[in-house]
Structure 1
Amino acid sequence: MTAGAGERGWRIVEDDLSGAAIRALLEQHFAGMLANSPAGSCHFLDFEGLNAPDVTFWSIHEGDRLAGCGALKMLDPAHGEIKSMRTADAFLRRGVAAKMLEHIVAEARRRGVARLSLETGSGAAFEPAIALYRRYGFADCPPFACYKFDPFSRFMTREI
């Protein structure tokens, strides 16, 4: 794991997914996706997918407590995809997702990425995430990469 310092005591680290806490948070993330969208419409990366060479995965902590996670998947050198954004229940509405999103955007910019995109669900459970992405300049777009139109998916993108 590599560390990055944050304000308010937030610490963001590149995570190898080996810890019990991050694995439990991701299991909760997977279950949440499946509870709110049909299985065929869920596009989350499993543990193997999050460990792929084209994916960088981070966890965010307050002190020694896991607060959330997020990942950047490189689709090509100029286009990245945000994956696996999740906030631990104890940290909801404390700015964790915004801090992780800022980190991912900054890292993508540092890598020379010109566009960031994402796929999320379209139901009510996903409205807080959609609102966050809109606040950070993401707008609706057609399916990208290997995605196809799906009424349970919402696609968003922005230039950086």
Structure 2
Amino acid sequence: MHIEIDDLTRPAIHALLQEHLDHMYELSPPECVFALDINALRAPDISFWTAWEGPLLLGCGALKQLDTQHGELKSMRTPTAQRGRGAGRAMLVHILEVAKARGYTRLSLETGTEAAFQPAQKLYASMGFVPCGPFASYQEDPHSLFMALDLSLFDSKK
């Protein structure tokens, strides 16, 4: 598996991001969906990566800069057919390493509260993320779980 910065032009990426958006809208009311579309992911304050095994897309993830020390994890997704292969964890570790190298001290995320989000919540917790309050422009919402990681506690060698 290799992870690369991505320009969001390949059809496989478009399909995966559409799967992600469709699933988010199935699970949460429209006003509570904070997943980004392709155009939003092209913003200058967002870096986007994909994980591949040869020509097979295994997942994606993004890092949004909130300020010089705080980033937000966005668009973590593994295609349904490729789950359980470790791509989500590999992508998360990659993004955490990049965030730490950029000098961020905190990485935050917003995820859903429905049962379908429990695997993601467990993955984040296993890496040291803990529940927190809303950050950036988010508001308290029963459909949102906010989590954060103090990056001084992250060690990719563990």
Per the normalisation by structure 2, the TM-score is 0.94
Aligned partner of 1:122: which letter? T
Counterpart position of 1:72:
63
Query: Per the alignment, in what secondary structure is the counterpart of residue 66 of structure 1?
Result: strand
Counterpart position of 1:51:
42
The correspondence for 1:81, drawn from 59, 72, 81, is 72
Query: Per the alignment, in what secondary structure is the counterpart of residue 72 of structure 2?
Result: strand
Q: State the identity %.
A: 50
Counterpart position of 1:107:
98
Report how far residue 90 of structure 1 moved: 2.3
Segments of 4+ moved more than 3 angstroms: none
Aligned partner of 1:71: which letter? A
Q: Counterparts of 2:82 and 2:25 in 1: how far apart (Å)?
A: 22
Root-mean-square deviation (Å): 0.6
Aligned partner of 1:88: which letter? P
Number of residue equivalences: 151
- Give unmatched runs, 5+ long, in structure 2: 152-158
Counterpart position of 1:16:
7
The correspondence for 2:23, drawn from 12, 15, 32, is 32
The answer on 1:61 being equivalent to 2:61 is: no
The correspondence for 2:122, drawn from 131, 135, 140, is 131
Counterpart position of 1:6:
none
Counterpart position of 1:93:
84
Aligned partner of 2:53: which letter? E
Q: Counterparts of 2:100 and 2:90 in 1: how far apart (Å)?
A: 15
